[in-house]
Structure 1
Amino acid sequence: MPENIIDKVAKVARLSLTDAEKAKFERDMNDILKAFGSLDRAKTDGVEPAFQPIETKNALRDDVVEECLSQEDALSNTVHKENGFFKGPRVI
């Protein structure tokens, strides 16, 4: 791996690396790239792409209109109300 790439990564990550740390980083990155390289050798002929390892179904439910609280009931448990509305802290 070219050293200028290591310097760029360190700069983006705002790291100040010593020469020893750069050498270790280079070895580690090469190991990682070799591991990903093994994926290129995997036999994928006839395999459907899978975007999720486990098939999921829509967990959302249909909206159902139900009875809701009246304004009076909604405000009944708070002392922080004014003119029929919840009163919150002032935002500047």
Structure 2
Amino acid sequence: MKLIDDWKQAWKLKSVQVGAASAFFYALILLSEQFLSVWNVIPQELKNKIPESIGEWVGMFVGVAMVLARLKKQPELHGEDHEKTD
């Protein structure tokens, strides 16, 4: 397997940052039993305001955010001058 050029700087890439955030939240789901005590502290009134389908929406948002982050030009990573807009 070949790595990208400057792979040591990959943490600066927006797509890597979004992917890391996604992995973090996925880990929260996997370790949900450990975080159940935190959930129990949240008042029921607040929990009732959280839609049941929030997980589906978060998953869709993260997927779209990863694609957009990968496509976004990041001149600060390549030493390019900021583009001038007309």
Q: Would you tell me which structure has more helix in proportion to its own residues?
A: 2
Could you say whether these structures have the same fold, taking a TM-score greater than 0.5 normalized by the shorter chain as the test? no
Q: RCO greater where, 1 or 2, for CA within 8 Å and sep 6 or more?
A: 2
TM-score by length of 2: 0.30
TM-score by length of 1: 0.28
Q: Would you tell me which structure has more strand in proportion to its own residues?
A: 1
